[in-house]
A and B are shown apart, each in its own frame.
Chain A
Amino acid sequence: MSIQFGNPDRPNSYIGKTVPRPNARRLVQGRGVYVDDIVLPRMAHVVFVRSPFAHAKINRIDAEEAMSVKGVLRVFTGKDIAEVCTPWVAVLAHLKGLKSPPEHAIAVDRACWVGEPVAAVVATSRAAAEDGAALIDVDYEQLDPVADMMSALDPQTPVLHPDMGDNLAFERQHEQGDVEEAFRTAHKVVSARFVTGRHTGVTLEPRSILVDWNPAEEQMTAWHATQAPHMIQTVLAKHLDLPESRVRVICEDVGGSYGIKVHVYPDEVATAAIAKIMKRPMKFIADRLESFSSDIHARDHEIEAKIAVGEDGKILAMDVDDWTAIGAYSVYPRTSAIEGNQVVNLCGGPYDFANYRAKTTVVFQNKTPTCQYRAVGHPIAVAITEGLVDMAAAELGMDPVEIRRRNMFKDDAYPVTSPANMRFEGLSHHASLDKLLELMDYEALRSEQAELRKKGIHRGIGIASFIELTNPSPFMYGIGGARISAQDGCTVRMDPDGSVVALSGVTEQGQGTEAMLSQVVAEGLGVSPARVRIITGDTQVTPYGGGTWASRGAGIGGEAALQAARALRDSILEVAAAMLQADQTKLDIRDGAIVDAASGEARMPLEELGRIVYFRGDTLPKGLPRELVQTRHYITSDYPFAFTNGVQASYLEVDTQTGIVRLLKHWCVEDCGRVINPLLVDEQIRGGIVQGLGGALFEEIHYDADGQLLNGSMADYLVPMAAEMPDMIIGHVETPTQESLLGAKGAGEAGTAGSPAAVMNAINDALRPMGAQVTEMPFTPERILRALGSLKD
Chain B
Amino acid sequence: MNEMFRDKIDISLTVNGEPVEGRVPAGQHLVDFLRGALGLTGAHASCEHGVCGACTIKVNGEAVRGCLMLAAQADGADIWTVEGLSDQGTIKDLQDAFVARNALQCGFCTPGMLVAIDELLGKEGVPSRAEIREHLSGNYCRCTGYEAIVDAVETVARARAQKGAA
Contacts and interface: CB of A to CB of B under 8 A. Distances in A.
Given A37-B41, A204-B108, A713 B147 contact: no
A133 to B, nearest CB: 11
B44 A713 contact: no
B148 A683 contact: yes
A689 B81 CA distance: 31
Interface in B52-96: 52, 54, 81-83, 86, 95
Contacts of A655: none
A26 B104 CA distance: 11
B111 A30 contact: yes
B20 interface: no
B86 A683 contact: no
A203 B54 CA distance: 12
Interface in A671-693: 679-680, 683, 686-691
Given A255-B44, A255-B107, A725-B133, A204 B142 contact: yes
A31 B42 contact: yes
Contacts of A30: 40-43, 81-83, 86, 110-111
Nearest to B29: A127
Interface in A249-282: 253-258
A714 interface: yes
A717 to B, nearest CB: 10
A134 to B, nearest CB: 8
Contact of A690 (B40, B41, B129, B145): B145
Given A253-B106, A686-B145, A722-B132, A29 B51 contact: no
Contacts of B130: 723
Q: Which interface residue of B28, B40, B100, B143 has the most chain A CB atoms within 10 A?
A: B143
A34 interface: yes
A236 interface: no
Contacts of B118: none
Contact of A28 (B52, B54, B107): B107
A28 B137 contact: no
B86 A29 contact: yes
A411 interface: no
A728 interface: yes
A680 B51 CA distance: 28
B22 interface: no
A31 B81 CA distance: 12
Contact of A686 (B42, B109, B147): B147
A687 B51 contact: no
A65 interface: no
A20 B104 CA distance: 12
A55 interface: no
B49 interface: yes
A612 interface: no
Contacts of B99: 20-21, 24-25, 28
Contacts of A686: 144-145, 147-148
A27 interface: yes
A468 interface: no
Given A24-B99, A30-B83, A204 B147 contact: no
Interface in A697-751: 713-715, 719-725, 727-728, 751
A534 to B, nearest CB: 16
A23 B132 CA distance: 26
A727 B95 CA distance: 22
A780 B120 CA distance: 31
B102 to A, nearest CB: 5
Contact of A202 (B35, B95, B105, B142): B142
Given A691-B142, A722-B133, A28 B110 contact: yes
Interface string B117-151: 00000000000011011101101111111111110
B139 to A, nearest CB: 8
A305 to B, nearest CB: 29
From A287, A288, A722, name the one whose CB has the most chain B CB atoms within 10 angstroms. A722
A714 B51 contact: yes
B49 A24 contact: no
Interface string A190-217: 0000000000011111100000000000
B12 interface: no
A152 to B, nearest CB: 31
A713 B100 CA distance: 33
A27 to B, nearest CB: 3
A256 B83 contact: no
Contacts of A683: 102, 105, 144-145, 148
A428 interface: no
A127 B1 contact: yes
A725 B145 contact: yes
A11 interface: no
Contacts of A36: 35, 41, 44-45
Nearest to B5: A127
A478 interface: no
Interface in A21-74: 21, 23-34, 36-37
Contact of B49 (A131, A257, A288): A288
A23 B104 CA distance: 10
A769 to B, nearest CB: 29
Interface stretch (A359-367, A507-515, A581-589): A507-515
Nearest to B148: A683
Given A130-B1, A255-B44, A690-B145, A27 B104 contact: yes
B81 A510 contact: no
B114 interface: yes
A202 B54 CA distance: 13
A713 B107 contact: no
Contacts of B137: 721-724
A690 B35 CA distance: 31
A704 B102 CA distance: 41
B104 A687 contact: no
A130 B28 CA distance: 13
B76 to A, nearest CB: 24
A253 B105 contact: no
Contact of B44 (A134, A204, A690, A727): A204
A386 B113 CA distance: 36
A512 B149 CA distance: 16
Interface centre among A201, A253, A686 (most CB of B within 10 A): A686
B41 A255 contact: no
B98 A24 contact: yes
Interface string A232-255: 000000000000000000000111
Given A28-B104, A29-B86, A722 B111 contact: no
B92 to A, nearest CB: 10
A21 B145 CA distance: 18
Nearest to A253: B107
A683 B141 CA distance: 13
B144 A206 contact: no
Given A719-B140, A722-B149, A254 B86 contact: no
Contacts of A26: 107
B51 A715 contact: yes
Contact of B108 (A20, A256, A719, A720): A256
A660 to B, nearest CB: 16
Nearest to A721: B137
Nearest to A686: B145
A639 B99 CA distance: 37
Given A256-B106, A722-B133, A725-B133, A28 B114 contact: yes
A206 B45 CA distance: 9
Given A28-B110, A687-B145, A713 B49 contact: yes
Interface in B149-165: 149-150
Given A255-B46, A722-B150, 18 more contacts: A20-B99, A24-B102, A28-B99, A36-B35, A36-B44, A37-B41, A127-B1, A204-B54, A204-B141, A258-B142, A510-B107, A687-B143, A689-B145, A713-B49, A715-B49, A721-B137, A722-B133, A723-B137
7 contacts: A29-B95, A30-B82, A31-B42, A34-B41, A204-B141, A205-B44, A721-B137
Closest 8 CB pairs of A and B: A30-B42, A27-B107, A255-B108, A510-B106, A690-B145, A510-B105, A30-B82, A37-B41
